[in-house]
Chain A
Amino acid sequence: MKQNMPISFIKFFLLFLIYMDIGCAGVWNSPHLASKSSEAVLFNPFSISPKHLDPVVSYSANEWEIISQIYEPPLQYNYLKRPYTLEPLTLKKMPDIRYYDRSGREVDSDSRNIAFSEYTLNIREDVRYQNHPAFVKTSEGELFYGALDEQSLLEVTSPADFSKQATRQLGAEDYAYAIKRMAVRQYHSPILDSMAEYIVGLKSFSEKITEIAKETKKTGEKLDLRQYSIEGVKVIDPYTLSIKLKGKYPQFLYWLSMNFFAPIPWEVDLFYQQKGLIQKNLTLNWYPVGTGPYMLVENNPNRQIRLMQNPNYHDDFFPALTPEEAEQSTLPKELLQEQGKKLPFIKEVVYSLEKESIPFWNKFLQGYYDASGVSSEAFDQAVKVSSSGDMGLSQSMKDRGISLASAIEPSVYYTAFNMVDPVVGGYSQSAKKLRQAISIAQREEEYISIFLNERGIAAQGPIPPGIFGYEEGEEGTNKVIFEWKNGKQIRKPIEVAKKLLAEAGYPNGISKKTGKQLTLYYDTTATGPDDRALLDWRRKQFAKLGIQLVIRASDYNRFQDKVRRGKAQIFSWGWNADYPDPENFLFLLYGGNASVKTNGAGINSSNYQNPKFDRLFEKMKTMENTPERLEIIRQMLKILQEDAPWVWGIHPKSLGLYHAWYHNVYPHAMAMNTLKYKRIDAQLRYQKQQEWNQPIFYPILLVLAGVVLIGYLLYRAYQNRQRAVIKGDQ
């Protein structure tokens, strides 16, 4: 037995080496199939499962990241042009807009008598839907799969499991159908109430169709919207749709680039209303059907979502610039070289659930994800900030060929004063000076440096960069808070804030009326241990003025409730642009939207109401982007800066890291359907993955040797023990 042991071990060792040799041919730690890594497949993570993929409901960035590749609203943003520019997507040309007065007579776009606007949409005739069982019809034109029973669904787990699939052309009726779906209250469209203010007849249609939907739910019938119509939405011919709006609303064009206005074929709506499919989670909410460059082939929101190229996708080409534009352009060369090429480039997209940032970051470094954001934990490893505040990649990232793309987001995060609060609110000189003093004392630049790793810029007003009305330099400087010195915005010294505070009636933070220290209340949802540093910092900013800040922490529900009812005194909030128009930011301070005034429904959470500002807003909101509009915006910003209803806070900066094989990245804050422009060099990715992830063998040998040694020692110890027992017995 003793003589055989080394031979067995040698045999085992040789077998092990053979296995290792086989193993060398590939990598062991790849989370993807080897075949996919070497193809034009994009690997993306998602950390929060999408809740809705139904375009009428979906309103979250993580959901739009997926459905924007599948659905095609009439318009899209040009990928390369800045400022953000709309262009036709499924339309032959930009909508034809006509204006009418109350009597129905056509008037000019700048007329004061505009009562209605009519948008005429001419739809392309070469657009077809992805293949789907809903489009399969009987000879009578009925849905072939329109009455599925339990038996026929036994083997079905996705729409791809149906043996028959078909497609059909996109038509104007599909866009009208989508607007009708938006009107059904039971579908919970987040923009129904906003659109009902503009689209003629939408409100009354919604009331009617909601009642009908209630009845059909009770009786178990399907809700077929084809038989109903909205007064302001007309299908003129199979490829022409007209939408009539109340008044003038230029921002409507932006809405037409959003998924809420994506086409819904009636066949798909009726198909997905079948009970058996609903019970299998096969609904329009989970299996979208569109005309876009990709189609959803797998949807497990708890693990993986997979998109494949839509074989029926219409002609679509990488945007081209005119020779003059190209000459003036600072675009990367690789983007200019792609001009005119047929889209999309990527064959498949795999979104995998990654709830934790550490495994995701490590997989990105291993080359198993193609792009990554920069989390706080990975910031120091990825990014180097120079003494002047400029950001660059760390050496380890450069060595891997990773590139960095950054962009200021069209968002604003601010600290609001409740303008109906008796202490910080109001429009008296003393109230204004108190708010101005606090605004100066809040060193947002320090906040950006400490808590955001320089990822952001201090806001001068509500309008972020990239949006019409935002101005750089001295012209765009908030002169109440900052000074323009040596070509830079410099925050006014704390002494200025103290002086303002004294003038407001609180010298050194002591109230002249009561003789007591001024105490203010900050409402927040930041209740975790990680938020402590931030809250301490905030207290410190107020303490510089001698003001005591009391933190009132509560859960998000209570916090929202307080803000809605005007019970919060000071609080922080934020806003992301829906569309690149100043109206979408300035309406946050329009008196008509004041939260308290609208029973909590308004978007103006600080309850700011200045008649002069409101008048200017009403004038500005329907204007084109002209110098006249810019002048009005300047006046509005000046009023806001004087009144200081917000501490203007920050505009965040997003950072993205991209591997060398990921091409055509050009951050666009408004467009979500940009996947079709991206390109993957799969060969380079495969090569790098092999290079970076070869398994290391020696620990296996050490472990095996350790196990053998320990086993041997234990065996010896046991033998000795047994011998000792026998000796003891003797």
Chain B
Amino acid sequence: MLAYIIRRILYAIPILIGVNLITFMLFFMVNTPDDMARSQLGAKQVTPEMIEAWKAEKGYDKPLFVNTEAKGVGMVTDTLFVQESMKLFTFEFGFSDNNRDIGNDIRERMGPSLAIALPTFLIGLVTNISLALLLVLFRGSVLDTGMMVVAVMIMSISGLFYIIAGQVLFSKIWHWVPISGFENGWEGAKFLILPIMIGVFAGIGSGVRWYRSIFLEEINKDYIRTARAKGLSEIRVLFGHVMQNGMLPILTGVVVVIPTLFMGSLIMESFFGIPGLGSYTIDAIHAQDFAIVKAMVFLGSVLYIVGLILTDISYTLFDPRVKLG
């Protein structure tokens, strides 16, 4: 397995270079370094001297991909792309255009993002699997049909509606929880209840439908019939056999998202005032802060690749027939 993991990590390097290359091309296609300087300087009158000084300070005075003034390898290495990419591969994210240490900011923001994303993910997973099993238990009944209709309705409504409706109902009308905000430690628990509840609820529609279909595929298989023939209760059949065998396809979709939970949720964090990573990239795009954009795209790619590797590894845990070599 170790050889497999090393191989996958090596495969990741050209992928990351490619992602980085695309990020550079797309960003600089829309924003020139002069535009970035004007946006960052924010002055009413931006003089050419100010622009040149800003570019020199931030290193944007270098050519993007080819340095015609350099010689030999320097033509490629003494460029913005190579210099910045090399730093990324050592996880040195550098400073944002407003002189904040990006690595430090990411570390600070990951916690709040996880405080929302992790419980939402775990509670959502348990809730969705439980509800899906319940529907499988009562398959073909009015409850099953009714719940499927409700699931489609939940899926059809925008997440933004649940957020605003949740804030109005639970905070504005019933005064149970704060509308938005964040605190570290246990004092902050009251701020997390509503976004987690809404996150879980908004995910029920798609989650239940998906897990239900997986479990329904299992429910009529021979080993289930055997389990029933042995006299096991329906609950034990579902939780002991159906769920365990249905886990493999579930893992494919679930494990891959675990590392990306760090990246947070844009809308949720904006509406609930959570100081996470959710809006970090979008804010940086608006502010034309390329240092943050490239760091976040790179980090997102790394986490996604890690998620895929973890998914592969998790297969071996749930299905002994799978061997990584």
Are the C-beta atoms of A59 and B190 separated by less than 8 Å?
no
Contact: B32 with A279, CB < 8 Å? no
| A557-B30 in contact (CB<8A) | yes
B100 within 8 A of A: yes
- Which 7 interchain pairs have the tightest Cβ spacing? A190-B43, A303-B275, A31-B181, A557-B35, A185-B53, A302-B275, A51-B98
Q: Does B249 contact A (CB under 8 A)?
A: no
Residue pair A302, B109 in contact (C-beta under 8 Å): yes
Complex A-B: 6 CB contacts under 8 Å: A28-B190, A280-B101, A302-B109, A352-B181, A366-B172, A366-B179
The segment out of A83-91, A354-362, A618-626 that lies at the interface is A354-362
With both chains docked as a complex, state the minimum distance between the C-beta of B39 and any C-beta of chain A, in angstroms. 8
Q: Which residues of A contact B (CB under 8 A)?
A: 27-31, 33, 49, 51-52, 59-60, 185-186, 188, 190-194, 210, 278-281, 283, 285-286, 300, 302-303, 352-356, 358-359, 362-363, 365-366, 368, 555, 557, 560-561, 578, 599, 601-603, 693-696, 699-700, 714, 717-718, 721-722, 725
Partner of A362, one of B50, B176, B179, B190: B179
Q: Is the CB of B47 within 8 A of A193?
A: yes
Query: CB within 8 Å of A: which of B12-40?
Result: 30-32, 35, 38-40
> Which segment of B116-124, B163-171, B295-303, B308-316 sits at the interface?
B163-171
A717 to B49 alpha-carbon distance, docked (Å)? 79
Closest-by-CB residue of B relative to A593 is: B45
Known: A366-B172, A557-B32. A194 touches B45 (CB 8 A): yes
Dominant SS among interface residues on chain A: loop
Chain B 269-289 interface 0/1 with A at a Cβ cutoff of 8 Å (1 = within): 011110100010001000110
B interface list, Cβ under 8 A from A: 30-32, 35, 38-50, 53-54, 57, 98-101, 104-105, 108-109, 112, 134, 137-138, 141, 143, 164, 167-168, 171-182, 187, 190-191, 233-235, 270-273, 275, 279, 283, 287-288
Which one, A352, A601, A718, A722, contacts B46 given CB within 8 A? A601
User: Of all chain B residues, which has the CB nearest A698?
Assistant: B174
Give Cα A49–Cα B108 distance, bound, in whole angstroms. 15
When the two chains form their complex, are residues A359 and B30 in contact, meaning their CB atoms are under 8 A apart? no
Least distance between A643 CB and chain B CB atoms (Å): 23
B38 touches A560 (CB 8 A): yes
Q: Which residues of A contact B30 (CB under 8 A)?
A: 555, 557
Report whether A51 and B234 are in contact in the complex, using a CB–CB cutoff of 8 Å.
no
Q: A352-B181, A355-B273, A603-B44 are in contact. Are A52 and B138 (CB under 8 A)?
A: no
From residue A635, how far is it (CB to closest CB) to chain B in Å?
A: 26
> A51-B98, A362-B179 are known contacts. Are A31 and B191 too (CB-CB below 8 A)?
yes
Q: Which residues of chain B are near A354, meaning CB under 8 Å?
A: 180, 273
Known interface pairs A302-B275, A356-B271; A28-B175 also in contact (CB < 8 Å): yes
Inter-chain contact A601/B176, CB cutoff 8 Å: no
- A516 CB to closest chain B CB (Å) equals 36
Q: Which residue of B lies closest to A285 (CB)?
A: B99
Q: Which of A283, A352, A599 contacts B99 (CB 8 A)?
A: A283
Q: How far apart sit A570 and B108, CA to CA, in the bound complex (Å)? A: 46
Say yes or no: A193-B45 contact (C-beta < 8 A), given A280-B104, A285-B99. Answer: yes
Residue of B nearest to A51 (CB): B98
Cβ-neighbour of B167 out of A60, A353, A358, A578 (below 8 A): A358
Taking CB atoms, residues of chain A closer than 8 Å to B46 are 190, 601
Identify the closest chain B residue to A576 (Cβ).
B44
Residues from chain B with a CB closer than 8 A to the CB of A30 are 178
Docked CA distance A717–B46 (Å) = 74
Most buried by A among B38, B40, B270, B273: B273
* A354-B180, A601-B47 known; A278-B42 Cβ under 8 A: no
* Contact between chains at A59 and B172 (CB < 8 Å): no
How far apart are the CA atoms of A321 and B6 in the complex, in Å? Answer: 78
B178: contacting residue among A31, A59, A696, CB under 8 A: A31
Interface pair B101/A281, CB less than 8 Å apart: yes
A1 CA to B177 CA in the complex, in Å?
A: 36
> Smallest CB–CB gap between A380 and chain B, Å?
17
Task: Return A188 CB to nearest CB of chain B, in Å.
Answer: 6
User: Could you tell me if B138 and A363 are in contact, using CB atoms closer than 8 angstroms?
Assistant: no
Given A190-B42, A283-B99, decide whether A29 and B164 contact each other with a Cβ distance below 8 A.
no
Distance of A585 Cα from B287 Cα, bound (Å): 28
**Chain A residue, CB-CB nearest to B269:** A355
Nearest CB in chain A to that of B103: its residue: A279
Taking CB atoms, residues of chain B closer than 8 Å to A186 are 53, 57
Residues from chain A with a CB closer than 8 A to the CB of B178 are: 29-31, 368
Known pairs A281-B104, A696-B175, A699-B174. 20 more at Cβ < 8 A? A28-B190, A29-B171, A31-B191, A49-B283, A60-B42, A185-B49, A190-B50, A192-B50, A193-B50, A281-B105, A300-B275, A302-B109, A302-B275, A352-B273, A362-B168, A560-B35, A601-B45, A601-B48, A717-B141, A718-B235
A695 touches B275 (CB 8 A): no
Residues of A near B271 (CB, < 8 A) are 355-356, 358-359
- Nearest-neighbor residue (CB-CB) of A725 within chain B: B234
B42 with A718: CB separation less than 8 A: no
| B80 → chain A closest CB, angstroms | 18
Name the A residues within 8 Å of B187 (CB-CB).
33
Chain B contacts for A695, CB-based, 8 A: 174-176
**Is B175 in contact with A693, judged by CB distance below 8 angstroms?**
yes
